[in-house]
Amino acid sequence: MKKEITAPKIRKYPPTLNVDDSDLPAIKEWQVGKTYECLVKMKQVSCRVSQGDSMMDGPESNSKKKIMHASFEIMDIEPMKDDQAEVDENYFDEKKKKVNRLKEMAEAED
């Protein structure tokens, strides 16, 4: 019996974010391999739509799905404080209000 050989699926890696200690001083105390939460303010600077990427979907796929790609400029980044490890709902409510105000300001500029 002839064994069918198939190419392995290619794993899609998550997006990465690169910062230095002038952007995020807390990284001086952080350890590789540990997970940290940050609040990021970013501005979308570009976007494009492409047809399915067979390299990401696997060589056997002829995907025709559309994929949105975007690039962002990091405007501000701050670590979540250790004492906020247990999520304080009011903290996120305040941040959401701030985000909504920023959206309104951006829309008013357009």
Please count the other Cβ atoms lying within 10 Å of the Cβ belonging to residue 1: 3
Looking at the fold, whether 58 and 84 belong to one and the same domain comes out as no
Looking at the fold, whether 85 and 98 belong to one and the same domain comes out as yes
Would residue 29 count as lying in a domain? no
Looking at the fold, whether 71 and 45 belong to one and the same domain comes out as yes
pLDDT for 55-95, tens place per residue? 555 555 556 788 889 999 999 999 887 644 444 556 667 77
How confident is the model at residue 81, as a pLDDT? 72
Alpha-carbon gap, residue 72 to 45, rounded angstroms: 5
How confident is the model at residue 85, as a pLDDT? 41
Residue 109 has pLDDT above 60, yes or no: yes
Looking at the fold, whether 55 and 69 belong to one and the same domain comes out as yes
Number of structural domains in the chain: 2
Looking at the fold, whether 67 and 89 belong to one and the same domain comes out as no
- Angle (CA) 9-14-17 rounded to 5° is 150
Task: Check: pTM over 0.95? Answer yes or no.
Answer: no
Looking at the fold, whether 43 and 72 belong to one and the same domain comes out as yes
Q: Which domain holds residue 66?
A: 36-79
